[in-house]
Amino acid sequence: MIQKPSDKEQEYFLRQEAERLKELREEHRRKIAEEERQRLKELHYLHCPKCGQKMTTTTLSEVEVEVCPGCRGMFLDDGELDKLAGESTRGRFASALASLRRLWGE
Ligand SMILES: [Zn+2]
C-alpha cells in the first residue's frame, strides 16, 4: 500500500528540490561567466586597448613590455613601471625612453 507523503515530507522534498535547482543555476552562471572570461581573453589578449591592433613584445632596459605599432601605446605589466622608473635604476627610465624612440624611428 502506498502512503501519501505528509505535508512536512512534501515541504522537505520541495525545499530539497529548490536548493538543488538553485545550485544548478549557480553552477550554470559560473560556467557561463568563465566561458565569457575565456572568450574575452582570447579576443583581446595582447591587443591594444586603444586601437585594437596586435601589440608586439619588446625589451626595454631588461624589462619586457608590449608596444602597439599602430598608436605607439605601451602596456606595462604589474611592477614593470617600478622596474623602469625605480629609485635605484634612475638611468634605466631614460634608457627605456631612448629605446622606445629608436623603436619608433624618432
Ligand atoms: Zn594601439
**pLDDT on residue 19:** 96
CB burial readout 27-60, b (16+ within 10 A) else e: eeeeeeeeeeeeeeeeeeeeebeeeeeebeeeeb
SS3 state at 73: coil
Distance 58 CA to ligand 1 centre (A): 15
Distance 55 CA to ligand 1 centre (A): 7
Asked if residue 91 and residue 71 are part of one domain, the reply reads yes
**pLDDT on residue 94:** 72
**pLDDT on residue 88:** 52
Distance 9 CA to ligand 1 centre (A): 63
**pLDDT on residue 14:** 95
Residue-number span of the structural domain to which 17 is assigned: 1-45
**pLDDT on residue 43:** 92
**pLDDT on residue 80:** 86
pLDDT in tens, 4-30: 778 899 999 999 999 999 999 999 999
Distance 23 CA to ligand 1 centre (A): 42
**pLDDT on residue 79:** 83
Does some domain include residue 51?
Answer: no
All residues with CB under 5 Å from ion ligand 1: 48, 50-51, 68, 70-71, 73
Q: Which residues of the chain are under the pLDDT cut of 70?
A: 1, 86-92
Does some domain include residue 17?
Answer: yes
Asked if residue 68 and residue 35 are part of one domain, the reply reads no
Does some domain include residue 50?
Answer: no
Distance 19 CA to ligand 1 centre (A): 48
